[in-house]
Structure 1
Amino acid sequence: MSGEVSIYELVYELWRIENSTDELGKLPEGFEEKLREYFSRLKSYLRISDKMMLSTSLREAEVEAVSKLVKSLFEIRLAKIIRAVESGTYPETMSGFEKNIYMSLHRILTEHRKYVESIIMATSYSGWNIIESNYDVVCFQQDFPQIVGEDLKTYGPFKKGDIAVLPKANAQTLVVKGLVYRITIMTPELGEE
């Protein structure tokens, strides 16, 4: 059962690191699967063990302690992911599941911001229309290498501050990762005379 002790120590160390930094730490490869196996083994042991034995009480306390640490660890990580979405940064250290959470939160926050922006634009730019296109105008927040767009054309390389016109899907991916911001292009409404 020494593997279980190392899982406890691993979880504690990851929890300690997440608590001590603003950056999202990297979880070890296969961490979630190791946790599932660990809890499964311990719960099997507890089902067949004598409830009056000291080792059973210790194992129950261990399950409870690790459960609390794991819950706290993932709550801390979620809070960091939410802050990253709000600030427009993309932590590369997210697990696969966390990347899905990030994308969902980013989509929701983007919809909210677009809605608020549309209210502001409706009053500030009444008589103006957003120009719709299959391409987006973006400004790069950092240097970025050459890419092949979804239209199979080559774009870049780009320097920080460069303005570029990219296919919508490529632009959206870069926006989500916090590498660019989108520039809205508008035209005045022409009144009928």
Structure 2
Amino acid sequence: MSTIESLDLKNLHVIVMQEFQSEDIQELNSDFFRNLSSTIGKLKNEEYDGIEKKAKNQIISTTTNLIELLVNKRLEKISNSIKIPYNILTDEEKFVIDSNDEMNERKDMIISGIINGKSKFLETTSTKHKTKPIAVRFVKEFDEIVGVDLEKYGPFKPEDIATIPNENAQALISNGIALKVRIEE
């Protein structure tokens, strides 16, 4: 099992323990999570039988648990901290906190719109959100619908993928009829 040698569980465990024992976020190599991902991906693609297969699966399971603990602890520290140096965060953590920053900006815009009597701005924002296109994959058959944008969509069969208004997509998702599809650019 050559890949196991490059995946140092003891080192990963030490990093996780240090993160939990310190109030400060520790600095990791910028490619730390990508390297872990690459190693796990290689390990998952290796074929073994018997005890070696059980050992491989246990290593993957243990590594997965350690990574989840580490990421969750680091994001908790980032959320609870007033100021963490941006340069010590991994690119993946920066990706997550950027969404938090956007959420805070949106919240401030809405509060400003409310307290400054900008009802037209709030109406426009609401309409844009309701009608913004969302890609979904249908898991159940579904008849034609009229979207909140007054356009017709469907009918749909399982595995069909469609782009429909957000408000309609969320209703279908919450009723177990469709799943959100994330389309990466």
What is the TM-score of this pair, normalised by structure 1?
A: 0.50
Within the candidate set 40, 51, 55, 2:52 is matched to 55
Question: How far apart are the structure 2 equivalents of 1:34 and 1:49?
Answer: 22
The aligned residue for residue 76 of structure 1 is 73
2:56 & 2:24 partners in 1: Cα distance?
33
Letter in 1 for 2:52: S
The one-letter amino acid paired with 1:77 is R
Contact 2:19–2:26, Cα closer than 8 Å, also in 1: yes
Cα distance in 2 for partners of 1:24, 1:68 equals 19
After superposition, residues 153-192 of structure 1 pair within 5 angstroms as none
Aligned to 2:31: 30
Contact 1:15/1:69 (8 A) holds in 2: yes
Contact 2:30 2:89 in 1 (8 A): no
Indicate the SS of the match to 1:92.
helix
1:17-166 alignment runs, 5 A limit: 17-45=18-46, 48-50=47-49, 52=50, 54-84=51-81, 87=82, 89-113=84-108, 115-116=110-111, 122=116
* 1:191 counterpart residue number: none
What is the alpha-carbon distance in structure 2 between the residues aligned to residue 96 and residue 5 of structure 1?
21
Match in the other structure for 2:10: 9
SS of equivalent residue, structure 1 residue 101: helix
Instruction: Give the 3 Å change call, closer, same or farther, for CA 23–29 of structure 1 in structure 2.
Output: same
Distance in structure 2 (CA, Å) of the matches to 1:89 and 1:112:
22
Higher helix share: 2
Structure 2: 5+ residue stretches without partners: 118-185
In 2, Cα distance between the equivalents of 1:119 and 1:88?
Answer: 29
Q: Is the 8 A contact 1:14 1:27 kept in 2?
A: no
Alpha-carbon distance in 2 for matches of 1:88, 1:24: 11
Whether the aligned pair in 2 keeps the contact of 1:18 and 1:73 (CA below 8 Å) is yes
CA–CA distance in structure 1, aligned partners of residues 98 and 6 of structure 2: 33
- The residue type equivalent to 1:26 in the other structure is E
Q: Which deviates the most, 8-17 or 59-68? A: 8-17
Deviation at 1:78?
Answer: 1.4
Q: Say which structure, 1 or 2, has more relative contact order (CA 8 Å, 6+ apart).
A: 1
CA RMSD in angstroms, aligned pairs only: 2.5
Superposed displacement of residue 16, structure 1 = 0.9
Deviation at residue 31 of structure 1 after TM alignment: 1.4
Distance in 1, Cα, partners of 2:101 & 2:88: 17
- Paired residue secondary structure (2:75): helix
In 2: Cα distance, 1:29 partner to 1:95 partner:
5
| Structure 2 counterpart SS, 1:26 | coil
Unaligned 5+ residue runs, structure 1? 124-193
